[in-house]
């Protein structure tokens, strides 16, 4: 089964063609990602109106490029998938409408994919990971610990009560005058700094639930920075290292609680899976390996280019759904908010006839 996937929920315009074999394994035929980073850099964050306009301008060309690189025409495509949310609504409308138009004209099934579900299922594209697994999803907009029990079957074990981890990285970078997106910049600075110089809090540590809270950490960092302003390069590096160390300790504690909840309810996880842009961070990856070793499981962390937003994950989630006979009517609506637990799978939104 071969599916075209379109991703436009944030600041990447992306399209990809992915093949799913009958045994559940996957292969990427093309994966084109156009980052809008330069358009948003001056603002220190994504500007929704700029993002939506940039998607409109780029998407047709990106889709065409994905098809050419995959060496496929639409006769060889079984379904058209697009991220239908959650995300910045202007961008979501652009991607979903484009997918609807292609599906209508080419008479192909449409799959309205939840962006978080796409992150959640990427480990099955890269590593054919069996269910159930424990997912740590950490991006600019989300920080969640989930039990992934099947396609469309997700149970939230923990989430952030305020900022997402990626957002905390981005805000730290902005505060310290580093570029956007912040995560990679903070990580780079942290390698030159002293993680023990500043005493930052580890919010929520020791609690039995698996929730996160990061706004206090962000505030504590700002206070430390203000105390020693103006900042030297070494100060910036030390602040980044101390911040990243605090984040890593928080992840260790919160995820340990999440894995405990998982084990109590569902038994041993087949894997600890990392997804979202933050999973590109080497220090974060290291702590995941430590945790997996502790609980006797393995870490599946897709390569960084598949952890950050991309079209292949949307195409793959579309293929996984289509393989179960799940597709969507052309009337399906874009959604700014769409919790993963509301996705569903067992009760299809619309069944397609023969796959």
Stretch that binds Zn ion, among 101-109, 137-145, 260-268, 329-337 (CB under 5 A): 137-145
Stretch that binds Zn ion, among 209-217, 261-269, 282-290, 309-317 (CB under 5 A): 309-317
Token look-up 């071969």 returns 2
Q: Which is nearer to ligand KG4, 259 or 314 (CB)?
A: 314
For residue 9, report the phi and psi dihedrals to the nearest 5 degrees. -80, -20
Q: Which is nearer to Zn ion, 193 or 276 (CB)?
A: 276
Q: Which is nearer to Zn ion, 2 or 280 (CB)?
A: 280
Interacting residues with ligand KG4 between 132 and 161 (CB under 6 A): 139-141
10 is a site residue for ligand KG4 (CB under 6 A): yes
The token duo for 207 is 């609690």
Given candidates 85, 183, 318, 334, which one binds ligand KG4 under the rule CB under 6 A? 183
Q: Which does residue 184 touch among ligand KG4, Zn ion, none (CB within 5 to 8 A, set by kind)? A: ligand KG4
Task: Name the residue with the smallest CB distance to ligand KG4.
Answer: 183
Interacting residues with ligand KG4 between 295 and 324 (CB under 6 A): 308-309
Name residues whose C-beta falls within 8 Å of residue 12's C-beta, 6 or more positions apart in sequence.
33, 34, 35, 36, 308, 309, 310
Given candidates 7, 163, 187, 309, which one binds Zn ion under the rule CB under 5 A? 309
Q: Residue 306: left (phi > 0), alpha (psi -120 to 50), or beta?
A: alpha
Q: Tell me 317's DSSP state.
A: H
Residues for the chain: how many in total?
Answer: 355
Given candidates 281, 297, 302, 352, which one binds ligand KG4 under the rule CB under 6 A? 281
Report yes or no: 144 and 279 within 8 Å, Cβ to Cβ.
Answer: no
Stretch that binds ligand KG4, among 15-23, 121-129, 164-172, 266-274 (CB under 6 A): 164-172
The kind and range of the H/E element at 350 are strand 350-351
86 is a site residue for ligand KG4 (CB under 6 A): no
DSSP assignment string, 181-224: SHHHHHHHHHTTS-TTSS----TTTT-SS--B--HHHHHHHHHH
Compute, in degrees rounded to 10, the torsion defined by CA atoms 86, 91, 92, 97. 180
Shortest separation between residue 227's beta carbon and Zn ion, angstroms: 35
Number of residues that bind ligand KG4 (CB under 6 A): 20
Which is nearest to 342 in space by CA: 147, 145, 122, 114?
114
Shortest separation between residue 350's beta carbon and ligand KG4, angstroms: 27
Q: Tell me 328's DSSP state.
A: B
184 is a site residue for ligand KG4 (CB under 6 A): yes
Q: How far is CA 123 from the centre of its chain?
A: 12
Given candidates 98, 126, 139, 143, which one binds Zn ion under the rule CB under 5 A? 139
Which is nearest to 136 in space by CA: 164, 96, 114, 94?
164
The token duo for 170 is 């981005």
Q: Which does residue 308 touch among ligand KG4, Zn ion, none (CB within 5 to 8 A, set by kind)? A: ligand KG4
Residues forming contacts to Zn ion in the complex (CB under 5 A) are 139, 309
Residues forming contacts to ligand KG4 in the complex (CB under 6 A) are 10, 139-141, 166-167, 169-170, 181-184, 187, 276-278, 280-281, 308-309
């Amino acid at each position: 089964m071969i599916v075209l996937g379109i991703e436009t929920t944030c600041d990447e315009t992306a399209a990809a063609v992915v093949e799913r074999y009958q045994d559940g394994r996957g292969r990427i035929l093309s994966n084109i990602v156009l980052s809008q980073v330069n358009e948003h850099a001056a603002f220190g964050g994504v500007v929704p109106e700029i993002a939506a306009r940039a998607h409109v301008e780029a998407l047709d060309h990106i889709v065409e490029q994905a098809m050419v690189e995959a060496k496929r025409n639409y006769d060889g495509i079984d379904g058209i998938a697009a991220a239908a949310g959650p995300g910045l609504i202007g961008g979501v409308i652009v991607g979903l409408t484009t997918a609807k138009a292609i599906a209508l004209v080419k008479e192909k099934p449409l799959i309205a994919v939840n962006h978080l579900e796409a992150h959640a299922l990427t480990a099955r594209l890269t590593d054919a990971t069996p269910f159930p697994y424990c997912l740590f999803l950490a991006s600019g907009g989300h920080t969640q610990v989930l039990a992934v029990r099947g396609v469309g079957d997700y149970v939230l074990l923990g989430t952030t009560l305020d900022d997402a981890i990626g957002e905390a990285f981005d805000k730290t970078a902005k505060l310290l005058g580093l570029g956007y997106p912040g995560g990679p910049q903070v990580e780079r600075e942290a390698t030159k700094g002293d993680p023990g110089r500043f005493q930052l809090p580890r919010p929520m540590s020791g609690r039995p639930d698996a929730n996160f809270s990061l706004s206090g950490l962000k505030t504590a960092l700002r206070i430390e920075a203000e105390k020693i302003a103006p900042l030297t390069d070494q100060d910036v590096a030390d602040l980044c290292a101390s911040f990243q160390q605090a984040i890593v300790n928080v992840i260790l504690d919160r995820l340990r609680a999440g894995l405990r909840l998982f084990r109590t309810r569902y038994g041993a996880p087949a894997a600890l899976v990392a997804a979202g842009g933050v999973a590109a961070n080497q220090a974060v990856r290291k702590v995941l390996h430590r945790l997996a070793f502790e609980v006797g499981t393995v870490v599946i962390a897709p390569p960084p280019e598949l952890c950050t937003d991309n079209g292949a994950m949307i195409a793959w989630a579309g293929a996984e759904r289509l393989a179960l006979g799940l597709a969507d009517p052309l009337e399906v609506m874009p959604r700014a908010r769409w919790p993963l637990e509301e996705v569903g799978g067992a009760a299809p939104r619309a069944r397609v006839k023969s796959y």
